[in-house]
Amino acid sequence: MSEIATEHGLLQIGSREREPRPAWLRIRLKTPRRYQEVKSLVDRLGLNTVCEEARCPNIYECWGDHGTATFMILGEICTRSCGFCAVTTGRPQPGVDAKEPAHVAEAVAAMGLKHAVITSVDRDDLDDRGAHHFAEVIEAIHEVSPGCAVEVLTPDFRGASGALDIVLAARPEVFSHNMETVPRLYRQARPGSRYGRSLTLLAEASERRDRGDYLGVVKTGIMLGLGETPEEIEDTMRDICGAGVQIMTLGQYMQPTKKHLPVARWVHPDEFEHHKKVALELGFSHCESGPLVRSSYHAHEHVESLSMASP
C-alpha cells in the first residue's frame, strides 16, 4: 500500500473500499428554473450533451447556477467501447447531421454563453473521424456569438491525416483531448485508443501553438480511482507537461453502471490537492483537481486565468 504526504499527514493509497460513496462525493440534487430552461432548449433542438450522456455530477450546478453545458456532437452512438464511459457503443447511422452546427450555435446564443464546450462520440466510421463537423460547429458558434469562446474536447481521430489541422483552422479558443488514465490501464480502460497516440495529438497541437499557427490553449484531463498508483499519476503528468499542455484536470472516476469498470478506490480530497501542487510545480499554467472535477468543469475560469497571466 502506497502513501502520500499531505498537510494533514500521510494518506494510505490502495484501499478497495467502494461502498458507500464517501461524504465528499455526495451532492444535493436541485433543479432550479434555469436548469429546466436549459434542458427544454436542449430537448427542443434535438441536441446531445455529455452532461446527460456521461451522467455528470455537476449538471445541476452548471445548467442551473452557471447556465453552461457541454454539447456532444456527431450523434449519440460511439464506435469505441471504453470501460469507463456511459455513452452507447454501436454502429452509428451513416454520415452526420448537417443541421447540427446551426442548432448548437442557436443553443449557445439562446443561453448567452461566453464559453461553450463541444465534444463528441468517436466516429471511426468517418474518413476524417468527424474533424470537418467539429470545424463547422466552431465556425457556426463564432458567427452567431462572436464573443463566445469555444472549447473543443476531441477524440484522437485515430491518427487520421490532417484531422487536427482541420479543427485548429477553425480557431477554437481551447483545444482539449483527454488522456483519461495512466499508460498501464489503457488496455482495460481505453481498448480502442493508444497512450502514445493521444500524447502525440496533444504535442502536435502544442507545436502549432508554439509556431504561432494556432493561437489557443491546449488542455487535457485524467481520472483517478481506476487502479493507478501515485507514482504513475505523477509520471503521466510529467509526460503531459512535456508535450506542452497548459491546462490539466484531475477528477474521481465513478462507475456509471455495473457493466463498467469498478472503482478501485475513492481518492481523498487531500490527495487531489497534492496532485494539483505537483502539477503546478511541473509547469502547468492551471490545474483543476478534485473529486467532482470533470474536464469542462469551470472551463471558462481556466481560460480566464491564463488570459490574466499573459503579459
Given this model, what pLDDT does residue 296 score? 67
Between β-strands 70-73 and 48-49, what pairing exists: parallel, antiparallel or unpaired?
antiparallel
Given this model, what pLDDT does residue 13 score? 46
Q: Which residue reads 499527514 in cell numbers?
A: 9
What are the distances in angstroms from CA 289 to CA 97, 136, 193?
Answer: 35, 32, 24
C-alpha cell belonging to residue 80: 469505441
CA–CA separation, 203 and 159 (whole Å): 13
* Helix axes of 230-242 and 269-282: crossing angle, nearest 10 degrees: 30
Given this model, what pLDDT does residue 17 score? 42
Question: Which of these, 61, 9, 69, 65, lies nearest to 39 by C-alpha position?
Answer: 69
Question: Which of these, 134, 152, 150, lies nearest to 142 by C-alpha position?
Answer: 150
Question: What is the 3-state secondary structure of 76-130?
Answer: CEECCCCCCCCCEECCCCCCCCCCHHHHHHHHHHHHCCCEEEEEECCCCCCCCCC
| Lateral strand order in the sheet of 286-289 | 48-49, 70-73, 115-120, 149-153, 174-176, 217-224, 247-252, 286-289
CA–CA separation, 163 and 161 (whole Å): 6
Between β-strands 88-89 and 286-289, what pairing exists: parallel, antiparallel or unpaired?
unpaired
Given this model, what pLDDT does residue 8 score? 43
* Phi/psi of residue 9, nearest 5 degrees: 115, -165
Q: How many CB atoms lie within 10 A of CB 252?
A: 25
CA–CA separation, 286 and 303 (whole Å): 9
The identity of residue 236, as a single letter, is: T
Q: DSSP class of residue 183?
A: G
Contact 300, 115 (CB under 8 A): yes
Given this model, what pLDDT does residue 6 score? 46
Question: Which of these, 71, 133, 121, 127, lies nearest to 92 by C-alpha position?
Answer: 121
What are the distances in angstroms from CA 19 to CA 3, 15, 91, 150?
Answer: 22, 11, 35, 38
Q: What tens-digit pLDDT sequence spans the chain (311 residues)?
A: 554 444 444 444 444 444 577 877 765 555 556 666 666 766 776 766 555 554 555 555 555 455 566 889 999 899 999 999 888 999 999 999 999 999 999 988 887 788 889 999 999 999 999 999 999 999 999 999 998 999 999 999 999 999 999 999 999 999 999 999 999 999 999 999 999 999 999 999 999 999 999 999 999 999 999 999 999 999 999 999 999 999 999 999 989 889 999 999 999 999 999 999 999 999 999 999 999 887 766 665 656 655 544 44
Parse the chain into domains and list their residue ranges.
26-309
Question: What is the 3-state secondary structure of 14-80?
Answer: CCCCCCCCCHHHCCCCCCCHHHHHHHHHHHHCCCEEHHHHCCCCCHHHHHHHHCCCEEEECCCEECC
Contacts of residue 285, defined as CB under 8 A and 6 or more positions apart, other chains included, come to 246, 247, 305, 306, 309
Question: Which of these, 235, 238, 290, 229, lies nearest to 265 by C-alpha position?
Answer: 229
CATH architecture of 26-309: Alpha-Beta Barrel (3.20)
Q: Where are the beta strands (DSSP E) in 170-297?
A: 174-176, 217-224, 247-252, 286-289
